[in-house]
């Protein structure tokens, strides 16, 4: 028996056959035969550990899967998982350990006990996937660590805005920023993955609000104003009903959270478009920016 670790590129199934094409660590491709029901265990774009056995058919060596395990829940050591993720996926532009230190420094700066306790409880529940998950399946921050990197960037924007608009509540903004996208962990299967049934039917805004309610109930603070406001910021952070927000922002903090979320997602996509554009030319149309094209100047930094 051999162990193969690969990213699922495609699944082919017919009346009497089922197989998957994998991309391996060295970027070579590998074909593995599956049992007829095994395709239900796989997701295109995700990495799995395959226990396989070799067999010969018409003198051609082939491999059949005996056991299939998602990499994230496999017995592969954590340090090896991190190495493998870096081989199969794009990563956040700064080390994940630095992102973690940054986010946790903001968490530790929350002074309001209710907000800090609720935020910490929800954060620790999801911490294992928080620093590996993308912020989207495509467009902005769709890479390993994208969720945390997006959050960290937003926290830094919060600090900049608070230096001007100091009447806004920093604790509420820190807490909501850390938690606003946390349920994307359950909304999407991962990098190059798909939306889950819960993600499609409920969505991460409502899902995160439910997580806050659960944590607040455990702590006995579910009826506090802090929890009410925190849930409002989360469910309104897309700003408009047609953008998926159940409610529009109705506090200053909620308005700011929407704006900085939009700023980071749009400017991240603009940066990507400009990086593939020559100086003196226009980008291709940028979907999240009303499909407009942007000029890349010849000015030197």
Contact 148, 130 (CB under 8 A): yes
The confidence score (pLDDT) of residue 128 equals 80
CATH 2.40.50.140 at 2-73, yes or no: yes
Is the per-residue pLDDT at 131 higher than 80?
Answer: yes
* Most trustworthy range by pLDDT among 19-28, 37-46, 163-172, 190-199: 163-172
Look at residue 2 and give its three-state secondary structure.
Answer: strand
Is the per-residue pLDDT at 95 higher than 70?
Answer: yes
- Here the tokens at position 279 are 């100086």
Is the per-residue pLDDT at 186 higher than 70?
Answer: yes
Is the per-residue pLDDT at 205 higher than 80?
Answer: yes
d(CA 292, CA 75): 47
d(CA 78, CA 31): 26
d(CA 190, CA 25): 18
Q: What is the DSSP letter of 43?
A: -
Question: So where are the chain's domains?
Answer: 2-73, 89-274
Is the per-residue pLDDT at 135 higher than 90?
Answer: no
d(CA 242, CA 206): 15
Exposed e or buried b for every residue in 117-128, given b needs 16+ CB within 10 A? bbbbbbbeebee
The confidence score (pLDDT) of residue 136 equals 60
Per-residue CA distances from 86 to 14, 63, 69, 74, 79 (Å): 33, 26, 19, 17, 11
What number is the average pLDDT over the span 94-109? 93
What number is the average pLDDT over the span 227-233? 98
Q: What is the mean pLDDT of the chain?
A: 90
The confidence score (pLDDT) of residue 6 equals 92
Contact 261, 180 (CB under 8 A): yes
Contact 81, 90 (CB under 8 A): no
Is the per-residue pLDDT at 142 higher than 70?
Answer: no
The confidence score (pLDDT) of residue 177 equals 98
d(CA 165, CA 254): 13
Exposed e or buried b for every residue in 163-190, given b needs 16+ CB within 10 A? eeeeebbbbbbbbbbbbbbbbbbbbbbb
Is the per-residue pLDDT at 109 higher than 90?
Answer: yes
H or E element, residue 161: helix 146-162
């Amino acid at each position: 028996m051999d162990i193969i670790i690969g990213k699922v590129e495609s699944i082919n199934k017919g009346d009497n056959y089922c197989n998957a094409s994998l991309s391996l660590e060295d970027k070579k491709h590998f074909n593995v035969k599956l049992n007829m029901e095994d395709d239900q265990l796989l997701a295109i774009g995700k990495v799995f550990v395959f226990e396989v056995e070799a067999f010969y058919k018409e003198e051609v060596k082939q491999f059949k899967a005996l056991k299939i395990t998602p990499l994230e829940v496999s017995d592969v050591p954590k340090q090896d998982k991190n190495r493998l993720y870096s081989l199969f996926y794009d990563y956040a532009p700064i080390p994940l350990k630095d992102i973690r230190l940054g986010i946790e420094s903001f968490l530790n700066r929350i002074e309001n006990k209710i907000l800090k306790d609720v935020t910490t409880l929800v954060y620790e529940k999801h911490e294992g996937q928080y620093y590996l998950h993308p912020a989207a399946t495509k467009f902005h921050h769709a890479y390993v660590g994208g969720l945390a990197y997006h959050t960290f960037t937003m926290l830094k924007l919060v600090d900049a805005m608070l230096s001007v608009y100091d009447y806004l509540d920093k604790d509420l903004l820190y807490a909501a920023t850390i938690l606003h996208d946390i349920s994307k962990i359950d909304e999407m299967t991962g990098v190059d993955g798909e939306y889950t049934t819960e993600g499609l039917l409920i969505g991460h805004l409502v899902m995160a609000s439910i997580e806050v309610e659960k944590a607040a109930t455990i702590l006995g603070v579910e009826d506090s104003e802090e929890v009410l406001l925190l849930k409002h910021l989360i469910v309104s952070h897309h700003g408009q009903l047609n953008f998926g927000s159940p409610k529009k922002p109705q506090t200053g903090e909620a308005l700011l959270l929407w704006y900085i979320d939009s700023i980071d997602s749009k400017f991240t996509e603009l940066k990507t478009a400009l990086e593939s554009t020559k100086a003196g030319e226009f980008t291709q149309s940028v979907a999240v920016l009303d499909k407009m094209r942007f000029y890349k100047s010849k000015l030197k930094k």
